[in-house]
Each structure stands twice: as C-alpha cells, then as structure tokens.
Amino acid sequence: MVPDGAGLHQLGSWTVIGLLVVFYGGTLLMTLFIGRRNENADGYMTAGNKVGFGISAGSMTATWIWASSMYASATSGYTYGISGPIHYGLWGALMILFIYPFGKRIRAVAPKAHTLAEVIYARHGKSSQLMLAGSNIVGSMVSITSNFIAGGALIALLSPFSFTQGILFIGGGILLYSLWSGFRASVLTDAAQVFAMLGAVVIIIPVVFFAAGGSDMFVSGAARLTPQQSNFFSSEAFMNQGAPYIAAVLAYAIGNQTIAQRLFAVREDLIKKTFVTATVGYGATIIGIGMMGVMALYAGVVPLDGDTNNLIPQMAATYLSPVLLGIFLIMIVGALSSTADSDLSAMSSIMMADVYGQNIAKEGKANPKTMLFIGRITMIVATGAGLYFASGQLNILDLLVFVGALWGALVFPVIASFYWQKITNKAFTISVIVALACFIPVRFEWISMGGLTGLVVDLLSIVGIGVVLGLMAFGFFGLKTAKIVAAVAMLAVAPFAIGVLHDYAVLSGSLVAYAVSTLVCYFMCFRNQATFDFASIKDRIGDFDNREEANHSTPGTLLEKKA
C-alpha cells in the first residue's frame, strides 16, 4: 500500500488485478457448472419457476443492494445525522416487503410469466405493456450505468488504474459470466456474492468503528452535529429523505423487473419467506453501511473533492488495513456486480418475452433459439450502452428521479389491473400520461406555487398520501382496511400538509403522480360495465421453449460435456 497524496492509501495494480480475477474468475467458474450447450429460453428468463429459498432470498438481497445504495445511505447519515441511514435503508427494505402480497396475487394469476409487462399484455394489450416494459428498460439502464460509475470511481480511488480502465474491468467481468446462462447465472452468482458482501459488512463496520475512536468518538465529536443531526426523530431527515422514499416504496417495487423476475422464479410457496428474509438482509446491510456516514460526521471527516459519494471509500482507505481494504473492494464490486447482472437479465427477458415473444413473433410461433440470441445480443448492447453513458459520468441519479415518478404513475393502474375487472387499456394508458404531465411541472418547479396552484398541489399530495398508504394496507389486509387507512391518513395529514407540502418539490411531485393516475384511472373506469376473467391470463402465458434438447430437469452441464 502506498499513500496517494490525499492521506488515503491505495492497493497496488497487481493486487487489484488479482482480486478482480479471483472474483470474476470464481463467478465464471460457478456459471460453467450450471451452463448448458442448449440453454432453455424460459430458464434463461426465470430459471424454471421453482428456485429454492436460500438461492432466491440471497439473490433478492444481493440484487437490491447496489453500490449506489451503499453510498447514498452513508451520504444520508453524513447529511442528516443519526437518523439518516434509517430514512434511507428502512424504506428501501420495505420496497421488498410491500411487493410480496401483490407478487403472490400476480403469480397466482400468471404462474408461468417471465415479466410483469407480459402479464399486463395479457390483461390489457400492447400500449400498457410497452409503457411498463419501457420504464423497466430505462430503470435498468440507469441502474447499470450508475453501478459502472461507482465501480470505475472506486477502482480509480483505490488503485493506480483510471476510471475508464475500471469500468471496462467491471463491465467485461459481469458480461462474461452473465451472457451464456442469463437469469440462471445471475441468480446463482447473486447467492454467492451475497455471502461475500454480507460477510464483509460484518467485519468492516466494527473495524472502522473501533479504528475511528470507538465510543469516545461520540463524545468528542458531538459538537460537530447540529440539533437536527443529533435528533433521532429529525423532521429535516424525515421530510427530505424519509418521506420521498416512503412515497417511492411501491413505485420502485412495481417498476423494477429485477424484483418481478424473482417473484416468477422462486417456488410459489416460498415467496413470503424469501421476501421477508431479503427485507431484513437488505435493511440491516444498508443501514449498517450508512453508519459509516454517521461516523464520518462525528469524526469530522471532510468528503474528498466535496463529493459525499467518496465517503465510504475514504473511510475504508483511512481506517482499514491492506487485507481489509481488499475485502472492502470485493464488497463493493460484489454489490454492483450482483445488481448489474440482474439488470442485464431483466433487460434481456423484456426483449425476449415482451418485444420478440409477444409483439414480433406470431402467437405461439416464437423460436426459442431466436429468443436466446435476442437475449444475449441485448446483454451485449446494454453493457456497451452502460459503458458509454458511464464514460460521460452523467448525473444519472437525476434521471432515476424521473423514472421513479413514471413508476409512481404506474403503481395504481398496474396493481388495480390484477384485482379490479373494470380497468381498461385506455384508462391505464391515459392515466399514466396525465399523471406524468402533472408531475413534471411540479417536480421541476416550472410553475409558481403561490395561491390556488399551491393549494391544488397540496390537496393532490394529500390524496397521494392516501393512495400510497391505502395500497400498502390493501396488499396485507384487503380493501376495507385499505379504505379506512387511506381516509384516516388523509384526514390526519391535511391540517399539517395544506400550505406546506408544495414547498417540497421532490415529495409533492411524486405524490401528485400517484394521486392523478389513481383519480383519472378510477373515474374513467368506475361506471364501466365490462368484466374480465382473470383465469384467462393463465391460458395466455406459458413456456416458450418445449424443445427436448433444452430440457433442464436432468443434470448435464457445459463442464460435464467437455470432460
């Protein structure tokens, strides 16, 4: 290790190359043990719909923990103080928890589906399907780019390699092990990567804590915190970090194909167990990592170049020994790889099932070999695009805000489509477009919020709160409880929200998107006399690949065939 001039330490070139070769080489070897000469197209997308608890819970945890979430949790701790990591990690964890009741319903309606958009196609038609699939693709593209940027920046900070060399190592490594077996490779390697990640978290947090001064740090550094930062119930942390994230809980869960893919992959009776375990695993990991931001605040650490994204690598490079710094590098590389490979699998599944399977091939005539070719080409193109966007170091998280709002607008129409017979394709499409049109001027503050406009935004935001909490209650307790929760929530917040909420553009923008899509969708449909037989979806969505040579029920891997 040599000091890099900024008081931090770096790993040597060969050490970094060795660590990456061991990590990606080991991962590739795992995928060779499950790879087939004739991969099954359905297996490439959902691994046969009967993955066990250990693998699926590990995969769900690893997928949801991405490098940016670690950095953002630490930033939240550094910015908002001791409650910051809770307001990032807890609500992020609840995204996994609150989707599982809806997931069970969707799985019951379409047990053999590959993507959520595919089920929407069977329920409504093309425009609704492509709207959801498009938002899934954009979200995964943003995620993969963000992970490449995090990986490149980390390698540039901790080694002599440049940012560009870093993203090429990461992108190449992920594509290498994901390309042949798709989701099967992703889900199995996720399960292995989660052990590396969680194991590193168990070691690194206590080591940094004691190296930074232990309990004494909280005494000597207390003067560095503002009253809001030292308050566990900080209103500033709640309004700026917690509340917008609570509003995003269902949006991110519905809009993310990586979650849907695991809902369709896990054995149906294990959905609840899998998602509850992943909730705890994700929450504890991300809140724990966020504590490094809190420790940095108490220790008086100033972020390198004023960028709070440097906090975690900076704390690691300051307080960890060379061996632990290597483990730290593997933790971050594991976090970004497990998410990026899931995004590649998600995008390939959408192109295979939604674009080719449902829209290009004639019904029932999709060629499994063509599907696999499209899936693999998608992975290569997506990796190339991710590297291109990452090399420009775009502020990709701004785009994520927009995608999050698009998902927010989709939440009610998507969820209601699986329970309410009256929803139509027209109502679905129009409600989402109108909600987006209302979201944009509110979120980006294009209009003055004085007078009547501010009041309308406040009222819509209150309805949005009712929609969010009502839908959360609906998943677990049914319609009657949901209506009560929504009504009580709206009445309870109204006195505090009117005249205030429109000042918080991020929060009110999201809530307006929820409210408008719900109101438009409801009023376009409630008089509708049409009915829909949900049992018919099961008959319209099934396996694409019934080739005998691609039957995966017996062992026989690439390695065995070569031997």
Which residues, in sequence order, are CB contacts of 293 under 8 Å at separation 6+? 73, 74, 75, 76, 77, 78, 79, 84, 85, 308, 311, 312
Of 495, 553, 562, 563, the residue at the interface with other proteins (CB under 8 A) is 553
What is d(CA 548, CA 562) in angstroms, rounded to the nearest whole number? 20
Q: Is 320 in the site for other proteins (CB under 8 A)?
A: no
Q: Using the rule CB under 8 A, is 198 a contact of other proteins?
A: yes
**Cβ 557 to other proteins shortest distance, Å:** 8
The least CB distance from residue 552 to other proteins, in Å, is 6
- Round to whole Å and give the CA distance between 400 and 561: 44
Site for other proteins in 171-190 (CB under 8 A): 184, 187-188
Residues 409-428 touching other proteins, rule: CB under 8 A, are none
Least distance (Å) between residue 57 CB and other proteins: 6
Give min distance, CB of 211 to other proteins, in A: 13
Q: Which amino acid is at 271?
A: I
Nearer to other proteins, 59 or 143 (CB): 59
Q: Which stretch binds other proteins (CB under 8 A): 115-123, 160-168, 214-222, 395-403?
A: 214-222
Distance CA 53, CA 273 (A): 7
Size of interface with other proteins, in residues (CB under 8 A): 48
Tell which one of 112, 138, 176, 218 touches other proteins (CB under 8 A): 218
Give strand pairing partners of 2.
Answer: 10
Quick one: DSSP state of residue 278? H
Q: For the purposes of burial, counting CB atoms within 10 Å of the CB of 80, is it exposed (0-12), middle (13-18) or buried (19 or more)?
A: buried
Residue 233 binds to other proteins (criterion: CB under 8 A): no
- Contact stretch for other proteins (CB under 8 A) within 12-20, 133-141, 196-204, 354-362: 196-204
Q: Write each residue from 234 to 273 as x if it is in contact with other proteins (CB under 8 A), else as -, in one continuous string.
A: ----------------------------------------
- Residue 552 within binding range of other proteins, rule CB under 8 A: yes
Q: Is 550 in the site for other proteins (CB under 8 A)?
A: no
* 52 is a site residue for other proteins (CB under 8 A): yes
Return the structure tokens found at 33.
Answer: 């043990």
CA separation for the pair 482, 467 (Å, rounded): 9
Binds other proteins (CB under 8 A): choice among 12, 29, 162, 195: 195
Q: Note whether 380 binds other proteins by CB under 8 A.
A: no
- Only one of the segments 21-29, 200-208, 308-316, 497-505 lies at the binding site for other proteins (rule: CB under 8 A); that segment is 200-208
Residue whose structure tokens are 């998608």: 378
- Give the per-residue contact string, 20-39, with other proteins (x = CB under 8 A; - = no): --------------x-----
Q: In degrees rounded to 5, what are phi and psi of residue 215?
A: -60, -30
Q: Are 150 and 332 in contact (CB under 8 A)?
A: yes
Of residues 74-103, those binding other proteins (CB under 8 A): 82
Identify the bridge partners of residue 323 per DSSP, sorted by sequence position. none
Partners of residue 266 on adjacent β-strands = 51
Tell which one of 18, 25, 54, 322 touches other proteins (CB under 8 A): 54
Contact call for residues 67 and 150 (beta carbons, < 8 A): yes
Which of 11, 20, 45, 55 binds other proteins (CB under 8 A)? It is 55
Element (H, E) at 249: helix 243-255
Establish if 232 lies at the interface with other proteins (CB under 8 A).
yes
- Does 293 bind other proteins (CB under 8 A)? Our answer is no
In three state form, how does the secondary structure of 309-347 look? HHHHHHHHHHHCCHHHHHHHHHHHHHHHHHHHHHHHHHH
List the one residue out of 496, 516, 436 whose CA is nearest residue 243. Answer: 496
Query: Cα separation of 342 and 143, whole Å?
Result: 10
Identity of the residue, 121 or 183, whose beta carbon is nearer to other proteins in the bound complex: 183
Angle at 13 between CA 30 and CA 21, to 5 degrees: 10
Taking the complex as a whole, the smallest distance from the CB of residue 351 to other proteins amounts, in Å, to 22
Position 555 contacts other proteins (CB under 8 A): yes
**Whole-Å CA distances, 326 to 101, 173, 301, 488, 519:** 40, 18, 22, 51, 52
Between residues 287 and 489, which has the closer beta carbon with respect to other proteins?
287
Is the Cβ of residue 201 or residue 390 nearer to other proteins in the bound state? 201
With respect to other proteins, which residue has the nearer C-beta, 61 or 145?
61
> Which of 1, 138, 176, 205 touches other proteins by CB under 8 A?
205
Q: Are 396 and 72 in contact (CB under 8 A)?
A: no
Longest CA–CA span in the chain (Å) reads: 76
Label residue 5 left, alpha or beta by phi (over 0 means left) and psi (-120 to 50 means alpha): left
* Residue span binding other proteins (CB under 8 A) among the ranges 211-219, 334-342, 414-422, 425-433: 211-219
Asked whether position 214 contacts other proteins by CB under 8 A, the answer is: yes
Q: Which residues bind other proteins (CB under 8 A)?
A: 34, 47-48, 51-55, 57-58, 61, 82, 184, 187-188, 191, 194-195, 198-199, 201-203, 205-206, 209, 214-216, 218-219, 230, 232, 277, 280-281, 284-285, 287-288, 291, 294-295, 552-555, 557
